[in-house]
Amino acid sequence: MKVLILIFIPLFFLGCQDNKSNKKIMPKVITKLDENKSLIDDINVENNFLFDNNEIEFKTFKYDGHYIEDLKIKDLLDKNYRNNFIKNLESLKNENDNSKSTLICQLLLMRIVQLSDSNAFYILSEISKNEIVSYNGIELYEKTLIEIFLEDPLFFIQQSTKYSDSSLIDYVIKMLQQYFINQDFLDMNLGFIKNGDNRDELLLLEPKSQLELKYAPLVKKLQTMPKVEVQLGPSFYTNFKTQESFLVNIFSILGNDLSNKLNSSEKDFYEKKIYSIISKYILKSNIKKAFIQDPDGYTNLRKEKNASSEILQQVKSGEKIEILDSSSDWFLVKTIEGRKGYVHKSRIKSE
pLDDT digit string, tens, across residues 325-340: 888 899 998 888 888 8
Q: What is the pTM of this model?
A: 0.75
Which domains does the chain show, CATH number per domain? 33-140 (no CATH), 179-283 (no CATH), 288-350 (2.30.30.40)
Tell me what the mean pLDDT of segment 208-230 comes to: 92
**Who has greater pLDDT, 285 or 110?**
110
What's the confidence (pLDDT) of residue 322? 82
pLDDT in tens, 15-25: 334 444 445 43
Does residue 314 contact residue 341 with C-beta atoms inside 8 Å?
Answer: no
Residue 291 scores a pLDDT above 60: yes
**Who has greater pLDDT, 39 or 90?**
39
d(CA 205, CA 247) in angstroms, rounded, equals: 6
Does residue 282 contact residue 344 with C-beta atoms inside 8 Å?
Answer: no
Cα R_g (the chain), whole angstroms: 25
SS3 of residue 121 by DSSP: helix
**H/E stretch holding 112:** helix 98-115
Cα torsion angle, 309, 323, 254, 171, sign? positive
pLDDT in tens, 116-129: 999 999 999 999 99
Residue 283 scores a pLDDT above 80: yes
- What mean pLDDT value characterizes the chain? 87
Nearest CA to 229 out of 197, 255, 190 is that of 197
Q: Where are the beta strands (DSSP E) in 56-126?
A: 62-63, 66-67
What's the confidence (pLDDT) of residue 277? 96
Q: SS3 helix, strand, coil % of the chain, rounded to 5?
A: 40, 20, 40
What's the confidence (pLDDT) of residue 197? 62
Tell me what the mean pLDDT of segment 103-120 comes to: 96
